Amino acid sequence: MSQFDGSRVLITGGLGFIGANLARRLVGQGAEVTLVDSLIPEYGGNLENIAGIADRVKLNISDVRDEHSLRYLVQGQDYLFNLAGQTSHLDSMHDPFTDLEINARAQLSILETCRLENPNIRIVFAGTRQVYGKPDYLPVDEKHPLRPVDVNGVNKMAGEWYHILYNNVYNIKTTVLRLTNTYGPCMRIKDARQTFVGVWIRQLLQGDSIEVWGGAQLRDFTYIDDCLDAMMLAATHDNATGQIFNLGGREVISLEDLALLLTEEHGSGRFQRKEFPADRQRIDIGDYYADDRLIREQLGWEPQVSLRDGLRRTIDYYRERLDSYV
């Protein structure tokens, strides 16, 4: 990771969950970090996420849909971690055109701006396992058919392939990481726009019953520190250029067992199983867990944090800061 020492790094979505954690890690590595975030309330940016490093990063409050700001911001940067996006699957169905603007058109605009202003920049794009839709087989590898079940998945698929296209045609070095359920400190917990795990932790800490829709679905989870390791490897490893990699976790668990594990780590709590709301049931993908052997083999990445340890760290974080996130 010494390659980041003295480098210039731009992070879109920099006040969000992954972006802020990445900024903290990169500042510690000696990088000069610029964060771009719109701070639109629905999209997860939170100034609390950079507490303690606010004076060590540059912050630009702007929207990735603003081409003029990006033209200035990408100049002179060595790395771009392109993390900005609209993450809510349900919102994408209620407001598909906004999702299109952020997750597809803005991504193309970012890449075209890099082509014109900084073609030597190295880009890592945060994709999603949502592009696979309902799996034909498990675990899901990168060769699985792409069949998104919602507007968000379609637009994220377009965004990732714009990145690969610009790598292949214009030699702008890009890597796509298809993230699964990433969790940890700084994730959004006020609603389910980012992850249901955040909502469950809020319910737990507020003394409410965790609502488990269904319960038998199988999932894997990536702790934030492991996600950051993958991103930094993807930005610096020659084998990553032009590639798409799945991220996964160390274990597979049902949602009901996950709720039970959360109550154990909290020391108290309860959960109840409920039927899926009809609007969410239509876009649910059922069981999903990743085959992440490709990134393990190509980049040497491997998740280090167990699900139990990661949940404990996350609960401890929000126990002390709940008011700043709800």
pLDDT at 109: 96
pLDDT tens-digit readout, 216-263: 899 999 999 999 999 999 999 999 999 999 999 999 999 999 999 999
* Mean pLDDT value across the chain: 93
Closest residue by Cα to residue 60 from 68, 52, 159: 68
Give a yes or no: residue 71 inside a domain.
yes
Burial of 52 (0-12, 13-18, 19+ CB in 10 A): exposed
Range of the domain at 293: 2-183+222-249+289-304
Domain membership flag for residue 194: no
pTM for the whole thing? 0.94
Average pLDDT over every residue of 198-210: 92
Q: What is the pLDDT of residue 249?
A: 94
Examine residue 269 and state whether it is found in any structural domain, yes or no: no
Lowest mean pLDDT among 68-82, 129-143, 188-202: 188-202
Q: Considering the domain boundaries, does residue 129 fall inside one? A: yes
Residue 232 and residue 9 in contact, taking contact as beta carbons nearer than 8 Å: no
Predicted local distance difference test score (pLDDT) of residue 140: 98
Neighbours of 109 (CB within 10 A): 18
Please indicate, yes or no, if residue 244 is contained in any of the structural domains: yes
For residue 48, the 8-state DSSP code is: G
User: Looking at the domain assignment, is residue 173 inside a domain?
Assistant: yes
Residue 300 vs residues 5, 18, 130, 293: alpha-carbon distances, Å: 21, 21, 24, 10
Min mean pLDDT across 38-42, 116-120, 203-207 is at 38-42
d(CA 62, CA 40): 10
Instruction: Evaluate whether residue 254 is within a structural domain.
Output: no
Residue 1's pLDDT band, with cuts at 50, 70 and 90, is low
Between these two residues, 156 and 43, which has the higher pLDDT value?
156
Q: How far is CA 113 from its chain centroid?
A: 23
| pLDDT on residue 18 | 97
Nearest-angstrom CA–CA distance, 284 and 188: 20
Kindly give the residue spans of alpha helices, DSSP state H, lying in the chain: 17-28, 67-73, 89-94, 96-100, 106-117, 151-170, 196-205, 224-236, 255-266, 278-281, 293-299, 307-325
Q: How many domains does the chain have?
A: 1
Least confident of 127-136, 159-168, 205-214, 220-229: 205-214
Q: How far apart are CA 201 and CA 316, in angstroms?
A: 10
pLDDT by residue (tens digit) across 272-286?
887 777 777 777 888
Q: Assess if residue 145 is contained within a domain.
A: yes
Between 47 and 193, residue with greater pLDDT: 47
Q: What CA–CA distance (Å, rounded) separates 45 from 75?
A: 24
Which residues are CB-neighbours of 303 under 8 A, at least 6 positions away?
222, 223, 226, 248, 249, 250
Are 36 and 83 contacting, i.e. CB atoms less than 8 angstroms apart? no
pLDDT of residue 89: 81
For residue 107, which of 50, 150, 67 has the smallest C-alpha distance? 67
- Take residue 215 and report the two structure tokens written for it: 């319960």
62-107 tens-digit pLDDT: 988 888 889 999 999 999 999 998 878 888 899 999 999 999 999 9
Residue 91 sits in a domain of what CATH number? 3.40.50.720
Rounded Cα distance, 221 and 59, in Å: 30
Q: What is the SS3 assignment for 97? A: helix
| Burial class of residue 56 (count of CB atoms within 10 Å of its CB; 0-12, 13-18, 19+) | middle
The predicted structure's pLDDT at residue 59: 96
